[in-house]
Chains A and B, each alone.
Chain A
Amino acid sequence: DTGVSQDPRHKITKRGQNVTFRCDPISEHNRLYWYRQTLGQGPEFLTYFQNEAQLEKSRLLSDRFSAERPKGSFSTLEIQRTEQGDSAMYLCASSLGGGPAGELFFGEGSRLTVL
């Protein structure tokens, strides 16, 4: 399978714990996005990488959230000191190109439940 893969698919954690999600984009894609989606809502932009550079981080993200994309390959999204409001589906997407983003290829998401 050469699509976007995310790990883990499901994570249940207690409030206050740290969690990390991993995304492996399609290998030749230089752009990588993280979105968050809650029930009944559309995907909400979190952050964007072009190659290894993080070009934007949503103001909706507190300092507890951090994302990296070392060497422009896979990416990780870490949430420190989780809160119940962090419960959501975290979606990763990748795309190729130098102009408009065009088609985004999404992974199946990582569902986080904070107890």
Chain B
Amino acid sequence: SQKIEQNSEALNIQEGKTATLTCNYTNYSPAYLQWYRQDPGRGPVFLLLIRENEKEKRKERLKVTFDTTLKQSLFHITASQPADSATYLCALDQMNSGGYQKVTFGIGTKLQVIP
């Protein structure tokens, strides 16, 4: 069966450190892998997208890696700040049997940055 696994336990880190979140998947062949941020009671907000032929993508303090052999993506936030505290969702963008792109989300990892 298809699975997207993110660490369901909250990640607590000290301000200024690098946070690393993991997304593993099985039985998917995504064209894109996306990361979103979600604050309580709000809709998800897009952060970064990485294509299957890309190894790494950066945007300001954010970095995403994508290993299609390991079927894993790592999401890094460097110099973390309390304002980075949120839930981070991994999403796979894959062509499905119906011939269109379907975006499927993981459970999310809650990040808490401690001042």
* A42 pairs with B108, CB closer than 8 A: yes
Q: Determine, out of A62-70, A76-84, A102-110, the stretch whose residues face the partner at the interface.
A: A102-110
Which of A4, A43, A102 has the most B CB atoms < 10 Å from its CB? A43
> Contact: B89 with A56, CB < 8 Å?
no
Contact assessment for B46 and A100 in the assembled complex, using a CB-CB cutoff below 8 Å: no
Closest to B101 in A: A101
How many chain B residues touch A (CB < 8 A): the figure is: 29
Which B1-22 residues have a C-beta within 8 angstroms of A? 4, 6, 8
Cα A40 to Cα B73 with chains together (Å): 21
Interface size class on chain A is: 20 to 34
* Contact call B93/A102, Cβ cutoff below 8 A: yes
Is there contact, CB below 8 Å, between A33 and B103?
yes
Taking a contact as CB atoms closer than 8 A, the residue among A4, A45, A93 that contacts B104 in the complex is: A45
- Chain A residue numbers with a CB within 8 Å of B42 are 108-109
Chain B residues 35-51 with CB under 8 Å of chain A are 36, 41-46, 49
Q: In the complex the two chains form, is B32's CB within 8 Å of A56's CB?
A: no
In the complex, the chain A residue whose C-beta lies closest to that of B40 is A39
Check B46 against A105 for contact (C-beta < 8 Å).
yes
Across-interface contacts of B102 in A (CB, < 8 A): 45, 48, 56, 101
